[in-house]
Amino acid sequence: MKALKVFYEGRVQGVGFRWTVKNLARGFDVAGLVQNLPDGRVELVAQGDSEEVDAFLEAVRTSDLAGHITMENTEPLPRQAGLRGFQILS
C-alpha cells in the first residue's frame, strides 16, 4: 500500500484540473482526493497499490494537464484509513 500527497503548481486552477484528475482516477484502482489550495496550487492525495498509484500519477503527468504544470512536489503519507473512492474537495 502506498499513499502520497502531491502539490501541483502552475496554471492549475480554473482549467478543469480537478475534474480531469478525477476522471483519470477512474481508470486506476486508487482512492484519494484533489482540491484547490488558497495559494493557487492543487493538492492531490492518492492511495493504493504502489503500481496503481505510480501509474495514476504518470497518467496525470502525461495528460492534457501537463502543459499547465510547472512544478510537482510529492510527499509520502502514512496509510489513510477510511479513504474510499476519489473525491473533489473545495
List 11, 18, 23, 61, catalytic entry: 18
| CA of residue 66 relative to chain centroid, distance | 13
Q: Is 73 a catalytic residue?
A: no
Three-state SS annotation for 52-67: HHHHHHHHHHHCHHHH
Question: Which residues in the chain land under pLDDT 50?
Answer: none
Q: Is 26 a catalytic residue?
A: no
Q: What is the pLDDT of residues 2-22, one digit of tens each?
A: 999 999 999 999 999 999 999
What pLDDT sits at residue 82?
Answer: 87
Domains of the chain: 2-77 (3.30.70.100)
What pLDDT sits at residue 90?
Answer: 78
